[in-house]
Chain A
Amino acid sequence: MIITVASGKGGTGKTTVAVSLTLSLAAADEGADPVFLDCDVEEPNAALFINPVVRERREVGQMIPQVDLELCTLCGRCAEVCQYNAIAVVGEDVLVFPELCHGCGSCTLNCPTGAISEVLDVMGVIERGSTQSLRSAQSSSSTEVGGSSGRIVFAQGILNVGEMMSPPVIRQLKEWGIPPDSDERPVILDAPPGTACPVVEAMEGADFVLLVTEPTPFGLHDLKQTVEVARDEMGLPVGVVINREGVGDQGVDAYCEAEDIPILMRIPIDRGIAEAYSEGVPLVEKLPEYAERFRALYASIERLVGESKELVR
């Protein structure tokens, strides 16, 4: 099951929730190893809390045109079909502007003389690896039974500084990082903030979108916009986690009730949690009693996803 953790507003606790949910599932005595993908490729932070060992790294980006001037007749068809002004015929030359290119390949398809081939324009890297086993030594016997090792399978994308477009990096991270058996194990995606195309990319293909918000006017405003994307535009089931409960007002509660959006968990405002976070200590490590609550959260999500699939049928 693929769960994307999103928020609209930044700093509401996406990474805190995504990391603690994954750690809690990994430490359980049963179930397959969870998979964690940090899709906030502009500012990836989850590794600071999960401490994975990275074993593989790959450069990613998009395919941009390369023109063979021997074959090119300077007809300008490529520039005519490009919707992004990323290729232009200038005098006796053809110029390509990689930062404008979307890698759609339309110029290649339309070139009448086959003068265009494509090369990778590197925009960032994707990495994958895993953590040490998080399970206590006493319960390690279940490893042989269940086939799980108590590890987190981890992957992240890192956009190069100065690069404009994060969606291609997120897309390739997902292709590489989401295992084929994602139906049978928890796959948790930590989304970037906002509600624009990078967030859509992180939600595409998810079974559920978990929205982390804070009970403030800013949190509410951005939550509404994220619900518009996830539920209204993409038709995905959503649920809310209210973080820092105790500050702010009742706006988020009222909105969720009116919109019939389930509030699946509440985390109180606690300077201790914030201080632990500042040192890279995940919530469930600081307050181990939360592990059960996060596993219950996962169970509620499974139930909601089951119900929504029933509805579709």
Chain B
Amino acid sequence: MKQLLILSGKGGTGKTTVAAALAHLGSQELPMVLADADVDAANLELVLEPTTLAEHDFRSGQRAVIDAQACTDCGVCETVCRFDAIISPTDAPFGDAYQVEGLACEGCAACFYQCPEDAIRMEEQLAGRWFRSDSRFGPLFHAHLFAGQENSGKLVALVKQQGRDLASETGARLFLIDGPPGIGCPVISATTGVDMALLVVEPTVSGVHDLKRVLSTTEHFGVPAMAVINKADLNVRRSDEIATFCHERGVELVGRIPYDTSVTEAMVQGQPVTAYTNGLVSEAIRGIWKGVKAHLLLDE
């Protein structure tokens, strides 16, 4: 079983479009398992229309809670908190005791240990949910991190672990993961242990800049990468610049997808673009699927 992660650095370059289309094309040829590792803006499910089979709580992290009865307003908690998460009685909207600003609290428990009155307790957080679903292209693991929560990396790791286990058990050939944007915690978590990253890049100044940073990240963690240029004809010169850059860095460019509104039309219809139209975009993605198969040795 091979694990392929779709990444981009910059957001909105077409990760999910490519992931959904590869799921559509790939599932016709070999058994696969899918995962959406963009847990704070999960979109793959909008195209795959999955049926949820099981739903689980994601409990992670904790938050301080101050008992207003026991609090003597000494202010030690405010002094030790480095995250500005303690609201003093003068600023608190209700009541006259110290309070905790939930989103700012990082659950470090410094206040819990320092409170002389033992008026603070730590409460475990329900930080999100994760789902095992069935989609028309194979089993899908996805998740929803609640608004403003931390530990997205842990939830990504959990979703990946579940998907990988099922893929191994069922003898799936490919585990396809739609990744998050950026280069931080959830991206690092998504990158760990995969066989290949497919970088979706757009031919813009931002796209080029962000490609370099995400490629440095995959290199840092020892994951080989391939690239595709989305909206390639928007700026042919920049696309060529990306092709040269990829060549120099030993990253194979496996395709150029043209700029076309059919991509958005397909999204509105809840369809992978390759299932929606047989135009130039679909043709390009079929070529990319061939390239992916060749690189991951899935033809053997």
Q: Which residues of A are interface residues toward B (Cβ below 8 A)?
A: 8-12, 15, 42-43, 45, 48-49, 81, 83-84, 102-106, 109-110, 159, 161-166, 192-200, 204, 216-218, 221-222, 225, 228-229, 232-234, 247-249, 269, 271, 274-275, 277-280
Contact = CB atoms under 8 A, between A and B. Distances in A.
B110 A218 contact: no
B11 interface: yes
A103 B205 contact: no
Interface string B231-261: 1001100100000000000000000000101
A106 B206 contact: no
Interface in B200-250: 202-207, 209-210, 213-214, 216-217, 220-221, 231, 234-235, 238
Contacts of A216: 264, 267-268
Contacts of A269: 261
Given A9-B12, A165-B184, A200-B148, 9 more contacts: A11-B10, A45-B205, A48-B206, A164-B185, A194-B40, A196-B40, A217-B268, A271-B234, A278-B235
What interface size band does chain B fall in?
Answer: 35 or more
Contacts, number: 194
A7 B92 CA distance: 29
Interface of B: 8-13, 16, 38, 40-41, 43, 46, 62, 80, 82-83, 102-104, 106-110, 113-114, 122, 145, 147-150, 152-153, 180-188, 202-207, 209-210, 213-214, 216-217, 220-221, 231, 234-235, 238, 259, 261, 264-265, 267-268, 270
A192 B182 contact: yes
A278 B103 contact: no
Contacts of B180: 194
A165 B150 CA distance: 10
A229 B188 contact: no
A222 B149 CA distance: 15
A11 B108 contact: no
A217 B267 contact: yes
A77 to B, nearest CB: 10
Given A45-B209, A83-B62, A164-B153, A229 B148 contact: yes
A165 B267 contact: no
Given A165-B184, A200-B148, A45 B43 contact: no
A257 B181 CA distance: 29
A15 B206 contact: yes
A104 B86 CA distance: 14
A104 B106 contact: yes
Given A12-B12, A104-B106, A217-B268, A42 B183 contact: yes
Contact of B11 (A10, A104, A166): A10
A105 B216 CA distance: 31
23 contacts: A9-B41, A10-B181, A43-B214, A81-B113, A102-B108, A105-B82, A164-B185, A166-B182, A192-B182, A193-B181, A194-B38, A194-B152, A194-B182, A197-B152, A200-B103, A217-B46, A218-B43, A218-B46, A247-B261, A269-B261, A277-B205, A278-B202, A279-B204
